[in-house]
Amino acid sequence: MAHATLYFPPDFLWGTATAAHQVEGQNTNSDWWAAEESGMVAHRSGQACGWLDLETALADFDRAADMGTNAHRLSLEWSRIEPEPSVFNQEAIDYYRALLEGLRARGIEPMVTLHHFSNPQWLVEKGDFQSDLIVEYFQRFARRAAEAFGDLVPKWVTINEPVVYFYHRHLLRCFPPPKAPAGWSNGLRGLRGMLVAHAAAYHAIKAVRPKAQIGVAKHWVAFEPHRPGSPLDRWWAGMLSRGFNTLWMQAMTSGRIPLLFGGGRVNGLAGSFDFVGLNYYMRRPARFLSLGLPPPAPDALMSDGGFGEIYPRGLKAAIRANLAYDRPIYITENGLPDSQDRLRPGFLITHLHQIWHAINWNFPVMGYYHWSLIDNFEWDRGWTQRFGLIEVDPETQVRAIRPSGRLYGEICRSFTLSSRMVERYAIDLMPKLFPG
């Protein structure tokens, strides 16, 4: 078999990603906490990964630095910073500054998300994204965040996965409910509210930090026809991809709200992003008119619990499709639940191989944030799914690096992916990636 080394650009960002509610614990003022307490969601976040204790978080940043990463994406827990309307908690602000300084001190560049699936409970009571009030509140939160942390944070994500949020909250109803009844029409109104809130936050951050780079972390799913020969399934796959993958991006580009979300123009929305953030996890089969999931093909390579089909080629296709927006591209999330680390080394290799290809086509992929640094509290699925490069025992909080974490470390430290690494971590891939 041939031996070769694939090089990445020397300024490539090698990152990992986390979200506040999934790692911090004790987010007692958030809608997730309320839903966990009431039993609306089956799992409890409790202490999560213990990051509320600064030393615990910093020790995980030591692990990220030892791995050789130079970037980390985390989110601010709004309900901690503004526990009551218009009351800003200095202790929480100091905590996040310490976290961000901790990253910087370790040579890790922070990317900060303002909204990652959780709301202050008081905001939900006011109607959150279904209410026009959200715009003022979100804009002010963004401005306060930029003032408090802007010197430490070059890259911002206003909202994480707006369409996934809509889908889980309003259609699957497995996320904490909004005040207005969940469902299509309120959900679409919420999506419209998210677009308006995003535009407001974008300009609020820019007013404080004109050089900040701001985007949205947009989930991308590789939809493909369930029955490849069926024109109806093919058409439906295209429709799902449009609704799920591209409508939001087109709205941010044109400044026009899609008719599906209520139509109209939004001041300041057109062009309100400096990079494209892509969260890519899987391929999904599309069956005509079904929003549910048909069974995967018998030969599909599935991650734990049927979370999704591993499909690395879809990542390059997603990158290619997003060239249309003419912005730098960051892979803001990519990963899989794999408690035994059976598939993760191969997953990392094959997805990074796709990115390497994309870069060699001169596609502007500037960084990669693996989901996740550590096992964490996976929303409505609790601790049943383990995404970490580092394993965490939620009871004892003991950490242990997985083989995939060691592999990622070798890649990050050398800015390369080599056949020697593939031989050691996923030898089965050798004939495909490095044929002799």
> Nearest residue to ligand FCB, using CB?
19
**Which residues, numbered 105-124, are part of the site for ligand FCB (CB under 6 A)?**
none
Among 164, 214, 266, 282, binds ligand FCB (CB under 6 A): 164
Stretch that binds ligand FCB, among 148-156, 160-168, 270-278, 402-410 (CB under 6 A): 160-168
From CA 317, how far away is CA 280, in angstroms rounded?
11
Instruction: Give min distance, CB of 164 to ligand FCB, in A.
Output: 5
Comparing CB distances to ligand FCB, the nearer of 218 and 316 is 218
User: Cβ(313)–Cβ(282) under 8 Å?
Assistant: no
Number of H helices, E strands in the chain: 16, 12
Please name which of 331, 338, 319, 354 lies closest in space to residue 429, comparing C-alpha atoms: 354
Each residue 256-285 as x (binds ligand FCB by CB under 6 A) or -, in order, gives -----------------------x------
Each residue 1-20 as x (binds ligand FCB by CB under 6 A) or -, in order, gives ------------------x-
193 residue type, one letter? G
Instruction: Give min distance, CB of 260 to ligand FCB, in A.
Output: 21
Stretch that binds ligand FCB, among 131-139, 157-165, 169-177, 289-297 (CB under 6 A): 157-165
Instruction: Give min distance, CB of 404 to ligand FCB, in A.
Output: 15
Comparing CB distances to ligand FCB, the nearer of 8 and 244 is 244
Sign of the Cα torsion 227, 232, 234, 238 reads: negative
Please state the φ and ψ torsions of residue 282, each to the nearest 5 degrees. -160, 170
Among 24, 333, 341, 375, binds ligand FCB (CB under 6 A): 333
Comparing CB distances to ligand FCB, the nearer of 128 and 161 is 161
Among 371, 377, 383, 408, binds ligand FCB (CB under 6 A): 371
Tokens of 234: 């093919």
**Which residues, numbered 388-427, are part of the site for ligand FCB (CB under 6 A)?**
none
Sign of the Cα torsion 43, 73, 403, 353 reads: positive
Comparing CB distances to ligand FCB, the nearer of 74 and 355 is 74
**Which residues, numbered 207-226, are part of the site for ligand FCB (CB under 6 A)?**
219
Among 95, 275, 387, 408, binds ligand FCB (CB under 6 A): 387
Please state the φ and ψ torsions of residue 401, each to the nearest 5 degrees. -70, 135
Q: Residues 6 or more apart from 346 whose CB is under 8 A from it?
A: 425, 426, 428, 429
Instruction: Give min distance, CB of 254 to ligand FCB, in A.
Output: 25
SS3 87: strand
Among 82, 109, 378, 380, binds ligand FCB (CB under 6 A): 378
Please state the φ and ψ torsions of residue 273, each to the nearest 5 degrees. -155, 140
161 binds ligand FCB, rule: CB under 6 A? yes
Stretch that binds ligand FCB, among 63-71, 156-164, 309-317, 428-436 (CB under 6 A): 156-164
| Angle formed at CA 337 by CA 364 and CA 124, multiple of 5 degrees | 80
User: Cβ(42)–Cβ(81) under 8 Å?
Assistant: no
From CA 410, how far away is CA 404, in angstroms rounded?
10
How buried is 398 (Cβ within 10 angstroms: 0-12 exposed, 13-18 middle, 19+ buried)? exposed
Tokens of 189: 């109104």
Comparing CB distances to ligand FCB, the nearer of 118 and 419 is 118
From CA 234, how far away is CA 224, in angstroms rounded?
7
Instruction: Give min distance, CB of 161 to ligand FCB, in A.
Output: 5
Bridge partners for 263 per DSSP? none
Task: Point out which residues bind ligand FCB (CB under 6 A).
Answer: 19, 160-161, 164, 219, 279, 333, 371, 378-379, 387
